Amino acid sequence: MQRMSANGSVTSLQLGSVAGAEKPDVHLLPCEIEHDGPAEVTRYFTAALKDRKHEKSVSFRGRGLKGQEVSCPHGYTGLVLRENHKPTSDQEDRTVRVSSVFHRFTYWNLDTPPTSDDGVVMAMAWPEIAEAIHGLVDD
Amino acid sequence: MDLSDFEANNSVSCRLSSAIPDVCKTEDCCLGIDEAGRGPVLGPMVYGICYCPVSKKDDLKDLKVADSKTLTEAERENLFHKLDEAKSFVGWALQILSPNTISNSMLQRAKYNLNALSHDAAIGLVQYALDCGVQLKEVFVDTVGPAEKYQEKLSQRFPGVEVTVRPKADSLFPIVSAASICAKVARDHAVKSWRFVEDLGDVDTDYGSGYPNDPKTKSWLLKYLDPVFGYPQFVRFSWSTAQSLLDSKAVPVYWDDDEEDGEKAAARMNCASMLSYFSRGKAQSSAREPHRFFTERRLQSLDTL
């Protein structure tokens, strides 16, 4: 159980479910979809995805996307969190649980293939940099 | 007509062609260009060329090719069969632009409109004939846009070839009628035997003509609308019919190149709108702005969910 607090309320994260959590494919799209819930990903997206010559491509809403697989930083696990009861005020304590875990995800760009200069790809190097900056220095 | 090359990957554009008749490499030839399926919201748009020696124009006329739109599907099939039988002097080539290609092109960041797409398909096919050694002297083109500008563009692109762009060329020049028959037969086959890349099970193929004003097409579009993904790739997302159905019945999707204004956009973009200066909200924390290293990587330190 992990906790964080803000505004006097406590948010608890139930990690007990990590081991048995589902490991679905995770896709990060270059757009904001105003929807939070189930979607026919396998039927419309995964089925139409082309993976040729190291280039992944697919379309979403008619727009062409190019993708690349990105791994989570070494030693890290991606978590998808779910909150069963939305709090009614910011004073209320909250509980979120792990609904699924991932170790890699597919990062998609509009029109052009992702490169190592893209923010999301570069972000994955941060834990290693942080370790180098903040870690103990051997004499 | 064998469409298996296109059917193997109907997400992209595909070229199909007949063998080049030997006589077309030695004698002066004429070539016709026409398109099929420009208007429909469903299925591919097909560009077709047909060519033969100038000396064989009358033989082509004897095949009684006519504007494909005035013919029934069976008549078109029959005429395509006749063109195939005349393969000793008639050749053809097609560029099938998949609906996904059309959507992707028209909706890409640097918009690529249907006219430019059409012109490039036509130019690509003429260049293909030249590359194959066809001795082109005359080109006849059917057009929906302004004929003069298009004629000038093609004449400049292909010096030494006499280009005639004319509205309704498909009913004036038999070689254009022949091209229109090839294109229309391919479009008919592609639509009829469309293999959906999406995993939709048995799809109702009663989609009518594919034209936006066809009631069957309209009800098909309503039936196959998914609130998140919108439509299968068979639908041209860039058509206003598809767009307005999605606007009213699917969940909103925002892209970084959307043209939107007003307070909602400002709120979404996480910047202050003008109006926010009139109402004083919670005091912003005076903490330091994070370093560019973190903003560029969209890394934020998290203390609440």
Most confident among A133-137, B175-179, B260-264 (mean pLDDT):
B175-179
| CA angle, A55 then A56 then A62, to 5° | 130
Q: What is the pLDDT of residue B302?
A: 78
Q: How many CB atoms sit inside 10 A of residue A90's CB?
A: 11
Q: How many CB atoms sit inside 10 A of residue B184's CB?
A: 26
Q: Over the stretch B134-193, which tens digit does the pLDDT of each residue have?
A: 999 999 999 877 899 999 999 999 999 999 999 989 888 999 999 999 999 999 999 998
Chain B residues closer than 8 Å to A126 by CB: 297, 299
Q: What is the pLDDT of residue A21?
A: 82
Strands A94-102 and A9-14 turn out to be parallel
What does pLDDT average to over chain B? 89
User: Is B142 among the annotated ligand-binding positions?
Assistant: yes
Q: What is the pLDDT of residue B62?
A: 84
The stretch B257-262 carries a mean pLDDT of 72
- Terminal alpha carbon distance of chain B: 59
Q: What is the pLDDT of residue A50?
A: 93
Q: What is the pLDDT of residue B275?
A: 54
User: Best of A4, A36, A44, A118 to disrupt the B interface by mutation (most B CBs within 10 Å)?
Assistant: A44
Interacting residues of B118 by C-beta distance below 8 A, sequence separation 6+: B35, B38, B45, B47
Q: Are B202 and B67 in contact (CB under 8 A)?
A: no
Q: Are B83 and B63 in contact (CB under 8 A)?
A: yes
Nearest chain A residue to B238 by CA distance is A62
> Lowest-pLDDT range, A14-23, B76-85, B129-138?
A14-23
This complex has an ipTM of 0.85
User: Is B35 among the annotated ligand-binding positions?
Assistant: yes
Comparing CB atoms, the residue among A6, A32, A59 nearest residue B100 is A59
Confidence of residue A31 (pLDDT cuts 50, 70, 90): very high
DSSP string of A74-97, one letter each residue: TT--EEEEEESS--SSTTS-EEEE
- Mark which residues 51-70 of B lie under 8 Å from A by CB: none
Across the interface, whether the CB atoms of B254 and A32 are under 8 A apart is answered yes
Q: What is the pLDDT of residue A53?
A: 80
Q: Chain centroid to CA A52: how far?
A: 24
pLDDT at A65 over 80: yes
User: Is B34 among the annotated ligand-binding positions?
Assistant: yes
Chain B residues closer than 8 Å to A33 by CB: 228, 251-253
What does pLDDT average to over chain A? 88
User: Best of B97, B221, B229 to disrupt the A interface by mutation (most A CBs within 10 Å)?
Assistant: B229
Comparing CB atoms, the residue among A35, A48, A64 nearest residue B108 is A64
Q: B240 — contact with chain A (CB < 8 Å)? A: no
Q: Over the stretch B9-48, which tens digit does the pLDDT of each residue have?
A: 999 999 999 999 999 999 999 999 999 999 999 999 999 9
Q: Which residues of A have a CB under 8 Å from any CB of B?
A: 4, 6-7, 11, 30-35, 39-40, 42-45, 47-48, 50, 59-64, 81, 83, 94, 96, 110-111, 119-120, 122-123, 126
Q: What is the pLDDT of residue B234?
A: 97
DSSP structure class, residue A42: I
Cα–Cα dist B32/B18, whole Å = 15
Strands B91-97 and B14-17 turn out to be antiparallel
Across the interface, whether the CB atoms of A96 and B297 are under 8 A apart is answered no
DSSP string of B87-114, one letter each residue: TTT-EEEEEEE-HHHHHHHHTSSS---H
**Phi, then psi, of B256 in degrees rounded to 5:** -70, -15
DSSP string of B113-142, one letter each residue: -HHHHHHHHHHHHHHHHHHTT--EEEEEEE
Confidence of residue B53 (pLDDT cuts 50, 70, 90): very high
Confidence of residue B76 (pLDDT cuts 50, 70, 90): very high
State the amino acid at position A95 in one-letter form: T
pLDDT at A67 over 90: yes
Q: How many CA atoms lie less than 13 Å away from B265 in the CB half-sphere?
A: 10
Confidence of residue B260 (pLDDT cuts 50, 70, 90): low
pLDDT at B278 over 70: no
Chain A residues closer than 8 Å to B109 by CB: 110-111
The stretch B227-256 carries a mean pLDDT of 96
Nearest chain A residue to B255 by CA distance is A31
Across the interface, whether the CB atoms of B104 and A63 are under 8 A apart is answered yes
Q: Residue A12 has which token pair? A: 């608890």
Across the interface, whether the CB atoms of A61 and B304 are under 8 A apart is answered no
Q: How far apart are the CA of A123 and the nearest CA of chain B, in angstroms?
A: 5
H/E run at residue B23: helix B23-26
Q: What is the pLDDT of residue B266?
A: 57
Comparing CB atoms, the residue among B200, B237, B305 nearest residue A43 is B200
Across the interface, whether the CB atoms of B109 and A62 are under 8 A apart is answered no
Q: Over the stretch A4-16, which tens digit does the pLDDT of each residue have?
A: 666 677 888 888 7
